[in-house]
Amino acid sequence: MFNPRPEILVKYLRGTLVEEEHYGFRVLADKNRVIDNTGETGHYPFYLRSCADPLQAALMIDYGMDINYSMSQEEIAICCASHTGEDIHVELEKSLLNKIGISEKFLKCGNEKKLSDEHRNESNNAYDNVLKNRCAGKLIMLLGLCRMNGWDLENYNDPEHPLQIKIKEKITDLCQLKHRFPIAKDSCGMPVMSMPLENIICGYLNVFTNPRYQKIRDAFLDFPYLIGGKDKLDTKIIQNSKNIIAKVGTSGLCVVVNLEKAESFVLKISDCDMNACEAVVVRTLKNLHWADIPFDPIIRTNNGDIVGEIVAM
């Protein structure tokens, strides 16, 4: 059924040799058609990973959770985030937990070591806080939906839980899926759907260009640091552009939406290298004349000597 053939999207040159090559797929589309693509996906499905977050957040608006809990735009943003676990993220999560009236003990995402400079020099005890997990805000949103609807708070990660059934139905509708694709468990312990890249684009355009979900769109545009954080690609793109939405997912996935053109592109790096992902996304944004995002392609030694460069193909 599937016969994907990725293409080389980025090379790392050190001296006169190619040291690394990263393959992948890139699809540009609007709601009705694929405009351009690099690599033949063969409609192969890829897991959404954290790119599922704003699609799931559509349920927050559908059920009126934002109104029921008097959520701020910052709190809506944290529900769509895959963040670096900084204090600004943790404090917002605490605020939302208090509003919903639930304990962080219900969060099933586990503890996660963060790699940002802010946390590198902290003791290991600093990581014993589930609210630093990149997905904690999303899980708080899911628990809020459970609390509102009287659904069980213990097994909300079960694929047959009413919450997960509603999520699957919502994403299927937004992404206009005509077939069933594999569902697995994400790092945060939640079920994660898979689908072809063009369906991911469809879902993002159906969220971010729909006035019904304006609060989600505005949360991304107004509070990009909450969506990602220090050195995160999606944060850098939104901060350094106009009317551009971006969301990264672990495993070399990134979705970018041009709100003015109602177009989107999605990139998947086959070996999941996020540095390669950033190089290609930034180059694509520049080639499309959507944005010019700062990116240093130079490879240096620890002493700062230039020894090579990163070349997006």
Residue 92, pLDDT score: 97
Residue 291, pLDDT score: 98
**Confidence category of residue 133, pLDDT binned at 50, 70, 90:** very high
289-294: long-range contacts at Cβ-Cβ below 8 A with a sequence spacing of 24 or more? Answer: 290/241, 290/244, 290/256, 290/258, 291/237, 291/240, 291/241, 291/242, 291/244, 292/240, 293/236, 293/237, 293/240, 293/241, 294/236, 294/240
Cβ neighbours around 144 below 10 Å, total:
25
Is the CA virtual torsion 113, 117, 122, 123 positive or negative? Answer: positive
User: What 3-state DSSP class applies to 161?
Assistant: coil
Residue 113 CA to residue 128 CA, distance in Å, equals 9
Residue 192, pLDDT score: 98
Q: Is the pLDDT of residue 149 over 70?
A: yes
pTM value is 0.94
Note the pLDDT tens digit of each residue in 37-89: 999 999 999 999 999 999 999 999 999 999 999 999 999 999 999 999 999 99
Q: Is the pLDDT of residue 310 over 70?
A: yes
Q: Domains of the chain: which residue ranges? A: 7-312
Give mean pLDDT, residues 221-229: 98
* Strand partners for 298: 309
- Assign residue 197 a region (left: φ > 0; alpha: ψ between -120 and 50; beta: otherwise): alpha
Q: Is the pLDDT of residue 127 over 60?
A: no
CA atoms within a 13 Å half-sphere pointing along the CA-CB vector of 262: 9
Closest CA to 185 of 45, 44, 49: 49
Give percent of the chain with pLDDT exceeding 90. 92
CATH node for 7-312: 3.40.710
Among 85-94, 103-112, 191-200, 220-229, which is the least confidently predicted range? 103-112
